[in-house]
Chains A and B, each alone.
Chain A
Amino acid sequence: MTSLDPVNATPTGLPVSSEALSAEPVAESGRAGAATWRVFRRDPLGIISLGLLLLLVVVALAAPLLASYPASYGTDVLRPPSLQYLFGTDSLGRDVLGEVIWGTQQSLLVAVAASIIAIAIGTLVAVIGAYFKRLDVFISVIVDLTLSLPVLPLMILIAALIGPSTATIIGVVAAFSWPEVTRLVRSQALTVVNLPYVDAARLMTTSPVWIIGRHIIPAVTPVIVVSVVVTASRAVLSAAGLAFLGLGDPTTWSWGRILYEAQQSGAMSSAWWLTLFPSIAILLLVLSATLLSIAYNDARNPRNRAR
């Protein structure tokens, strides 16, 4: 399997065929991990992406050190970028740089929380399905049906009915991301379940929990790693889209909120800096996450190593 596809973190959260991800049914051992790293670090795109992601994490964590929390208003309204305001000011005279920095925190939080929830549910369901064959039929029907639902319109519907908050956004994004994870992980887990060492394990113990924890989860870990990155970057775009439609958390700074307020004040075309900087932040995060997962997949693939 090559670099492909997990990666189709399409902005609207498109469900995309992901069979191609099913990696070689081999648990990633420590030795394989080291080999992956050796290949990975020779890939400049992968290293740059990793660096960018780390930078964003640092910005999020160090936000209080980098900029003061955006004030409720300022007197310099809609100023273009200058030495005083590197990213300009918005229609209430607030510093856009500060908003972007503090927005990183919120945007990463949504991304990480949504993907952790989606991964936890998705993996659990997939692994259970793979192990208990009787449940598998039911689970895969549910997954298929859920994947055929129009995701973005349903997100809009739910967010509007429940009311906008950070928790709503996280919940809604997670609720529509887990089936994709299940699908990815399931195909991988199925190949593992039928391997001789799992059969052997079944003879030795009666505890499914032990087998799942000891053999199946480690085998699907690489798929999960890729899923985390993909789901997280998808969550950022979904959250920004919902915020843009007025369904984001209005009281916490996020990149989506900056864009939403720019839209509401009709300033998107005249005050380009209001749109440009949060858009670049979104672009950087999604782009680097996606390229990172491509590079990781490439590096993990023995065929690539042999090359």
Chain B
Amino acid sequence: MHNHSTRRGTMRTGIRRGRALTLVTAAAAITFVLSACAPSAPEASSGPVEAGNDTLTIATTTDVVNYNPLIGNSRSDYWVTNLMYPHLLSIADDGKKEPQLATEWGYVDELTGYYEIRDDMTWSDGEPVTAEDVAWTMNAVKKDAPSGTFYGQLANFVSAEAVSDTRVEITLASPDTSIVEEIGFWGNVVPQHVFEKAESVATFANNGSDGGWVSAGPYLLTDVQVGQSYSMDRVDEYPLVEGGTPVAAKVVYRVFPDVNTEILALQSGEVDVIANALPPAQVEQLKATDGITVEEVVGLGYAHMTYNMTNPDLAKTEVRQALAHAVDYDAIRTVVLQGQAVSTGSSPLMPVLSDYYDKSIKEYDFDVDKSRELMESAGYTADASGNFPVSFRLIYSLQDSVTSQWAQLVKDSAAEAGITIELQGTERNTYLAQTNDGDYDIYAGNFAIMDDPVTNFTLSYLPGGAINYTLVDDPELNALIAKAAVTADSDEKISIMRDAAKIVHDEVYDNIMYTQNLYFAHSSKWEGFVTKPSELLSIVNPISVASAHKTAAQ
């Protein structure tokens, strides 16, 4: 904007006092702005004696985007809101559901499900947590359709009704033997008396602007500095934790956008827990570091590649098989994941789902000669340099560092089999857009929690399924999945699902590569964490955070 002449002038040119004045004024202005946020000390906490006065500081890499648990989809959103808004059900390491707010659940008949809930939970403003809250939450989500996993589980849901203070019944559009557990696990319960003031739960920010938050979890959000910290205070009564009161007086989530800074902060003692799963290559390093404890958490999801069947080459089973045999799965698990992943036998029924897991389904072996034979039997001929006349575009998200690393290995091993793979790693939104439009030949990605096989198969392999990235439509597979969804007997359901998984495996409708076990680091000054599967729950699930305490030596 400026092009002031820099011609030198006369000796009379002088510096006026004004310059200093301007600087002082600017400094004063900034000081004033900041002083507006200088906090004053709170009154001393009046918690029970057995509960400590310590602050548990947890590091995360991103800000909270949404305080409304019905919308949020980022990790930090889930972690913070999970400490305030209970779920009906929790999950065990093998994917089985466990009681949380609900004590009992099941089906009254084919089209009616039910939950019995605890009668000793209260919101932090004194209101009891009732079946009304539960039913209202479900109906509001069905009506307003907030973007989020909760709404995604409600396809077969018609309505919910509080038949007593502690019992909720839900009506289904068609028989669905998974929905009660899926809604119970994925859905939060929000306070009706707070959320009903909003026009729609899909746009309600719940940012505490109306007198703060209301919590039925172990902690209550009290103070937010965007980009830096989220401070939460203990609630006095939380019946789900041993002793009935959370131990740490405060929980502070701190934002460290760079994982390296996050690790430095843990080592220096500035934070006590890192909520994000450790990068695989850092696990051994941190295990060997004094003062840091690393906890293992079982994975309940998988990483996979799908082959877009609208591509005429990939529509051929042999081509998909050729690709599946041209991946060095062992190398990916030992090098990229540092041995922290288990093979699923190339089946969507992971070993962690012990009831469903079928040992007889074996992983595709890495055998480039076999791949070449398969390509030849599909009618392709290699040129002089051994390359087949095909080229596939593989997409992945650059935000997903593990996938970004193994994508390169997939490309290199496919090249050995004479199949060209072109990598296209993009920023997450572009990746989502491409995924949504089917704009790829091969899709690489992963899911954090695939707890229920029937729901998972319905979404992944039925035509029109939201995550049917293979774009598969196999009548035999469709029939099996439909049958499993209405089968109440669990042995029979398992047997049907195993048949379905075998089709998926043999036809390579999905190439499941591994289940990653996750590692989380915390300061050795703290103990008593309770691990739950997946990065969403890990050691920062409500029970774990409420139970953590300083070690006796402190």
Contact = CB atoms under 8 A, between A and B. Distances in A.
Nearest to B411: A72
B281 A263 contact: no
Contact of B259 (A93, A144, A264): A264
B425 A266 contact: no
A84 interface: no
Given A160-B427, A246-B398, A269-B260, A72 B409 contact: yes
Interface stretch (A58-66, A73-81, A197-205): A73-81
B338 interface: yes
B445 interface: no
A161 B411 CA distance: 25
A164 interface: yes
Nearest to B398: A246
Interface of B: 1-3, 6, 258-260, 262-264, 278-282, 285, 331, 335-336, 338, 398-399, 401, 404-405, 408-409, 411-412, 423, 425-427, 429-430
Interface in A235-281: 246-247, 250-251, 261, 263-270
A92 interface: yes
Given A19-B3, A247-B427, A266-B281, A75 B259 contact: no
Given A264-B259, A265-B281, A267-B282, A92 B336 contact: yes
A73 B336 contact: yes
A134 B411 CA distance: 56
A72 B408 contact: yes
Given A20-B6, A92-B405, A247-B427, 7 more contacts: A163-B430, A246-B398, A251-B408, A251-B425, A264-B259, A266-B262, A266-B278
Contacts of A267: 260, 279, 281-282
Given A72-B409, A77-B338, A265 B425 contact: no
A250 B398 CA distance: 8
A183 to B, nearest CB: 9
A102 to B, nearest CB: 14
User: Chain A interface secondary structure, helix, strand, loop or mixed?
Assistant: loop
Given A72-B409, A263-B258, A269 B263 contact: yes
Interface in A138-154: 144, 147-148
A163 B427 contact: yes
Contacts of A247: 427
27 contacts: A17-B2, A20-B6, A73-B331, A74-B335, A77-B335, A91-B279, A91-B280, A91-B281, A92-B335, A161-B430, A163-B426, A163-B427, A164-B425, A164-B426, A250-B425, A251-B408, A251-B425, A263-B258, A263-B260, A264-B401, A265-B279, A265-B281, A266-B279, A266-B282, A267-B260, A267-B279, A267-B282
User: Which size bracket describes the interface of A in this complex?
Assistant: 20 to 34
Contacts of B278: 266
A10 to B, nearest CB: 17
Contact of B281 (A19, A78, A148, A160): A78
A93 to B, nearest CB: 6
A246 B399 contact: yes
A68 B527 CA distance: 48
B407 to A, nearest CB: 9
A164 B398 contact: yes
A17 B2 CA distance: 8
Contact of A246 (B3, B280, B411, B427): B427
